[in-house]
Amino acid sequence: MSDLLYHRLFQAIMEHNPLQKCLLTDQLVDDWQSQKLQRTDDGCIEDIDVPGRPDFPLLVNPRQVPRRSLASEQGKKILLHSFAHIEFNAINLALDAAYRFRNMPDDYVTDWLQVASEEARHFLLVNDYLEELQASYGSFEAHNGLWDMVCRTRHDVLHRMALVPRVMEARGLDVTPGLIEKFSSAGDKRAVEILGIIYQDEIGHVAIGNRWYHFCCEQRELNAQTTFQQLINEYIGGNLRGPFNRPARIAAGFEDDELNILESCL
């Protein structure tokens, strides 16, 4: 096995088997923490339009994704499958953040490898539960919205930190408590437990994105709030979706006055 960090990161990103991807990620984290990996930049940074993924699920337009509802057993499986898909994509997302932006400090690599490892754990938790329900990752169609934004922001780490953790992942902090409540009302204690773990970890992941977004803004002497709004306009062409989960977003590093401004635009 190679002792070169970026070679190992690329290998993990391009691995198509989900369980093997999780294993490679955990091995990568262990070797990085044990200082067994050389952070040697050979200058070869691939544009990864399609990361390693299994043949299924089929990727379709978001409007064609099957209906997700707890009104039926099938609907519950589809909803859980959507979480598995998000977590699988999030492994690649975190690995790509470490792989692509090579001028960042070692702490940046450490942070994103931690995120990748936790996303792998989330994926396994959801997928194991799906298998208990006689389904698995790939059983239903999914969409590729998260990776699309990864590709659009691959030219600039500041853009990546702004648009992926602070927009797309932070949206999960807004909607997950409501989903936990629905699963609780349906009496699904295992789903509640799994989503609770994901929710708490995701606060930390958004906090990591916030940390490095502000780091980049300070390096470039940019106003973080103004720059964020400019990037929202550039990439999304409008305002963020609400309502916001203020306690979770503040715990993840958003500031009160920033949230006030964002909420005023809802």
**What does the H/E/C string look like for the chain?**
CCCEHHHHHHHHHHCCCHHHHHHHHHHHHHHHHCCCCECCCCCCCCCCCCCCCCCCCCECCHHHCCCCCCCCHHHHHHHHHHHHHHHHHHHHHHHHHHHHCCCCCHHHHHHHHHHHHHHHHHHHHHHHHHHHCCCCCCCCCECCHHHHHHHHCCCCHHHHHHHHHHHHHHHHHHHHHHHHHHHHHCCCHHHHHHHHHHHHHHHHHHHHHHHHHHHHHHHHCCCHHHHHHHHHHHHCCCCCCCCCCHHHHHHCCCCHHHHHHHHHCC
Q: What is the mean pLDDT of residues 154-161?
A: 98
Spatial CA neighbour of 162 closest among 105, 228, 217, 226: 228
Average pLDDT, the chain: 94
pLDDT recorded at residue 87: 97
pLDDT recorded at residue 61: 84
pLDDT recorded at residue 144: 82
Spatial CA neighbour of 165 closest among 97, 238, 266: 97
pLDDT recorded at residue 43: 84
- Length of the chain (residues): 266
Tell me the pLDDT band of 111, cut-offs 50, 70 and 90. very high
Tell me the pLDDT tens digit for each residue of 122-147: 999 999 999 999 999 999 999 887 89
CA distances from 253 to 19, 125, 211, 257 (A): 32, 27, 7, 12
For the entire predicted model, the pTM comes to 0.96
Q: Does pLDDT of 99 surpass 80?
A: yes
Contact 137, 18 (CB under 8 A): yes
Tell me the pLDDT tens digit for each residue of 40-91: 988 899 999 999 999 999 988 877 777 777 888 999 999 999 999 999 999 9
Q: What distance in Å separates the CA atoms of residue 147 and residue 154, rounded to the nearest whole number?
A: 11
Tell me the pLDDT band of 239, cut-offs 50, 70 and 90. confident
Please state which of the ranges 61-70, 93-102, 139-148, 174-183 shows the lowest mean pLDDT.
Answer: 61-70
pLDDT recorded at residue 123: 98
Q: Does pLDDT of 265 surpass 90?
A: no
Neighbours of 244 (CB within 10 A): 19
Q: What is the mean pLDDT of residues 11-20?
A: 98
Q: What is the mean pLDDT of residues 20-47?
A: 95
Geometric angle at alpha carbon 246, from 121 and 71, rounded to 5°: 60
Tell me the pLDDT tens digit for each residue of 187-227: 999 999 999 999 999 999 999 999 999 999 999 999 999 99
pLDDT recorded at residue 80: 96
pLDDT recorded at residue 131: 97
